[in-house]
């Protein structure tokens, strides 16, 4: 039997993401949970560190509202009963919409994992997406807990590195900068390891239908056996992410071309309304483009990790770095 390689994982995942368009809707909603892998972690850690150096918008908002006296707050909230009822129902609708979005996103993630796992077992027939949805629906709570744990890990690592940034910002010495670099790399490595662990736990829950504690233990064993493979694949996908960012920038320029034409006409006719229409058209086209690319890319990333999980779990997968070093 031919030994599975990273090239096989990328090839199969791309075929699934591009040719099986029924998965795109799942990818669109699963994207709200964040991306499997290291990009989300690295992005949040970097942004948090930057926010400690340059205060974020939340800092300015806190300073603004903290200066408002209690009497001003109570006066501004002196609404009629009808207004309060409208606010109440608006909050209820928004909370309900948020709960529905979380439910659909979590089940969509599980449906992609289920579809890819079945396809990996039998590539001659693509599984029914409705069956994958119903199968994932049964594991909603376990998948939700795993996604919450992953988000807690990402945020915790980001905050840890952010606080470590303070010493490197306020009159830093050479030792403070070195300490920051060590904490940054160490925190990022720990966060990535825990992220991979939870990715594999999702596989055990959806594919093998393990209970949550059992899936977490099995995922840790799988990660410790293939930790180098996990980091190598994450690095490859990180490079792919750079290409997706470049594609998004290209799309920004491409889909604002109609807006530029409308703006030139608006300037020529001195029509402010046409200028506003140009902004709406550009933002609308670019948003649709980002949704399209994001849904496909989410399917691709999830498929890659699921394919690797299946191969690690069933056959084993050797590190390419170790293979090259032996050569």
Q: Answer for the pair 143, 36: CB distance below 8 angstroms, yes or no.
A: no
Q: Answer for the pair 207, 308: CB distance below 8 angstroms, yes or no.
A: no
The candidate with the shortest Cα–Cα distance to 113, out of 233, 202, 180, 212, is 202
Q: Can you read off the two tokens belonging to residue 190?
A: 């720990």
Spatial distance between the Cα atoms of 42 and 237, rounded to a whole number of angstroms: 13
DSSP string covering 216-271, please? HHHHHHHHHHSHHHHHHHHHHHHHHHHHHHHHHHHHHHHTTHHHHHHHHHHHHHT-
Which pLDDT tens digits describe the chain residue by residue (327 residues)?
455 677 878 888 888 888 888 888 998 898 888 766 555 556 655 555 555 444 444 444 555 555 555 555 555 556 677 777 888 889 999 999 999 999 999 999 999 999 888 888 876 677 788 888 988 988 999 999 998 888 887 777 777 776 666 666 665 667 667 777 777 777 777 777 777 888 889 989 998 889 989 999 999 888 888 888 888 888 888 888 888 888 888 888 888 888 888 878 877 777 777 778 888 888 888 888 988 988 998 899 888 888 888 888 776 666 666 556 555
Burial class of residue 204, CB neighbours in 10 A (0-12, 13-18, 19+): buried
Confidence (pLDDT) at 31: 86
Burial class of residue 100, CB neighbours in 10 A (0-12, 13-18, 19+): exposed
- Please report, for the chain, the start and end positions of each structural domain, with discontinuous segments joined by +: 6-57+78-316
Confidence (pLDDT) at 56: 47
Confidence (pLDDT) at 99: 92
Q: Answer for the pair 195, 38: CB distance below 8 angstroms, yes or no.
A: yes
Phi-psi region of 54 (alpha: psi -120 to 50; beta: other; left: phi over 0): beta
DSSP string covering 130-151, please? HHHHHHHHTTHHHHHHHHHHHH
Confidence (pLDDT) at 285: 86
């Amino acid at each position: 039997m031919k030994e599975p390689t990273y090239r096989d994982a990328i090839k199969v995942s791309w075929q699934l993401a591009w040719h099986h368009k029924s998965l795109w809707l799942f990818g669109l909603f699963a994207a709200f949970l964040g991306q499997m892998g290291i990009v989300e972690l690295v992005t949040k850690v970097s942004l948090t560190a930057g926010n400690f150096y340059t205060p974020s918008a939340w800092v300015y908002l806190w300073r603004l509202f903290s200066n408002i006296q209690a009497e001003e707050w109570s006066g501004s909230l002196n609404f009629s009963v009808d207004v309060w009822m409208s606010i109440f129902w608006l909050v209820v609708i928004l909370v309900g919409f948020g709960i529905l979005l979380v439910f659909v996103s979590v089940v969509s993630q599980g449906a992609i994992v289920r579809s890819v796992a079945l396809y990996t077992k039998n590539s001659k027939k693509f599984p029914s997406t409705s069956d994958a949805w119903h199968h994932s629906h049964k594991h909603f709570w376990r998948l939700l807990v795993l996604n919450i744990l992953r988000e807690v890990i990402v945020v915790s690592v980001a905050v840890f590195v952010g606080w470590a940034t303070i010493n490197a910002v306020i009159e830093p010495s050479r030792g403070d900068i070195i300490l920051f670099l060590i904490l940054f790399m160490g925190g990022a490595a720990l966060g990535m390891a825990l992220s991979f662990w939870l990715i594999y736990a999702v596989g055990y829950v959806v594919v093998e239908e393990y209970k949550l504690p059992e899936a977490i233990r099995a995922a840790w064993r799988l990660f410790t056996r293939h930790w180098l493979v996990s980091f190598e694949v994450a690095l490859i996908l990180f490079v792919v992410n750079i290409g997706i960012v470049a594609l998004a920038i290209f799309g920004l320029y491409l889909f604002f071309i109609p807006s530029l034409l409308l703006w030139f006409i608006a300037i020529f006719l001195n029509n402010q309304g046409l200028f506003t229409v140009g902004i709406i058209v550009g933002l609308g086209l670019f948003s649709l483009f980002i949704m399209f690319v994001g849904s496909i890319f989410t399917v691709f990333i999830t498929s890659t990790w699921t394919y690797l999980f299946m191969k690690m779990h069933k056959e084993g997968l050797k590190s390419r770095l170790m293979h090259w070093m032996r050569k």
